[in-house]
A and B are shown apart, each in its own frame.
Chain A
């Protein structure tokens, strides 16, 4: 039997975890080669058996099972966040701050830099908003022409009139013009509204709000879901890989436990990604942000460090890799033939 066949069988054995190959690989290879000499070829079943072995946890080790379930749950959350993040990389980029400022000046007629707000939608997509307050008249044609000139296609435009009370004196009200419009440009969406006072003593006192965001990419939900599943599997596999050493299992369990808080946050965000109708920043994203990004980062880093420590503990030692006798199996009586 040639070495090509042996190389092929060795590749099939890569489906098994390295620790398993260390103590059973040579033996299984012998069996495969002897079967091949009789014309029997291992099929996909061997690969499936190897993959199944990767998920196997040691019996009578409740901590390993608890750690595996916890790790799967936590990494599922991280996987959802990663999938969502990757999906948004495929979306159209929002205009630069300079472009938004220029568009704002064109539409509103209010010169100067207005404050910009970069926010995240419920679906975790980006958006940029600009709030311009100043003195400008109401001109529907200026807004329409400005949008069209900048490459936007207007999808709705409404005007209405009303009155507002501009000061503390509730008996004085002034007429006001309201405007609201939406537009698209490629994969970008735009929403704008305006409130312009049209009567003295505050004539042409204007407040404009414009917001731009990308349409959610088609892969957003599939990648969020796929990331969750990948994270679940990765979490289980991680603990399964560490489970042969109790210290490594304990460290991995501590690591994923530390990352529980960010995982919870990621799951809530994933829920919004899956259930929100679209990527519009309206209604505003209302998830409790009391545990902010810094805490999330600290927890994630602490968890990662614990898992790295577990990996160091469980890393194969040269002496271990040289041997072929698994733990728990009596030392064999060797003989050469």
Chain B
């Protein structure tokens, strides 16, 4: 699993968890699968990491419980992005896009190519 830092203050798994929750509320294993899909298999969350991140994001007010379901006698808890979480993710996306654009521009200057 990559633990690369996306930018100061938000690590890649955190960014991907928020991204996974951006579209719709998802339960624990759903988040793990969504993150894996979004990262094209580069980031595979382990349960301990996922729930540690959910604890932290809940404390920060970025994520909250949406609902609980009982499936085959098991508890599924769905999480959703809060407005604050959406704002943080938006800011992060803009930062990443700005940085990516800047990097691509420099690469074009130095090496040309299709970036």
Q: Which residues on A are within 8 Å of B, measured CB to CB?
A: 24, 26-35, 42-43, 45-46, 48-50, 52-53, 59, 324-325, 328-330, 332-337
Contact = CB atoms under 8 A, between A and B. Distances in A.
A27 B69 contact: no
B69 to A, nearest CB: 5
B47 interface: yes
Contacts of B67: 332-335
B74 A35 contact: no
13 contacts: A24-B51, A27-B75, A27-B77, A29-B75, A30-B29, A35-B29, A49-B47, A50-B48, A330-B64, A332-B68, A333-B66, A334-B68, A337-B70
B48 A30 contact: no
A31 B46 contact: no
Given A337-B69, A337-B70, A27 B48 contact: no
B86 interface: no
B64 A28 contact: no
Which label, helix, strand, loop or mixed, suits the secondary structure of the A interface? helix
Contacts of B92: none
Interface of B: 27-29, 32, 46-52, 58-59, 64-71, 74-77
A27 B70 contact: no
B47 A32 contact: yes
Nearest to A29: B74
Given A30-B28, A329-B65, A337-B69, A49 B48 contact: yes
Task: Give the residue among B29, B67, B76 with the most A Cβ atoms within 10 A.
Answer: B29
Contacts of A337: 69-71
Contacts of B77: 27, 332
A31 B28 contact: yes
Contacts of B58: 328-329
A335 B65 CA distance: 13
Nearest to B74: A30
Task: Give the residue among A45, A53, A328, A332 with the most B Cβ atoms within 10 A.
Answer: A332
Q: Which 8 A-B pairs have the closest CB atoms?
A: A49-B48, A31-B28, A26-B75, A30-B74, A34-B29, A332-B65, A333-B67, A27-B77
Contact of A35 (B32, B68, B75): B32
A31 B48 contact: no
Task: Give the residue among B48, B49, B51, B76 with the most A Cβ atoms within 10 A.
Answer: B48
A28 B69 CA distance: 14
Nearest to A324: B75
Nearest to A326: B58
Given A26-B75, A328-B59, A46 B65 contact: no
A233 to B, nearest CB: 20
A192 to B, nearest CB: 63
A46 B50 contact: no
Contacts of B50: 31
A328 B58 CA distance: 8
A49 B47 CA distance: 9
A31 B47 contact: yes
Nearest to A58: B59
Given A31-B28, A337-B70, A330 B51 contact: no
Nearest to B48: A49
A50 B51 CA distance: 10
B74 A46 contact: no
Nearest to B76: A30
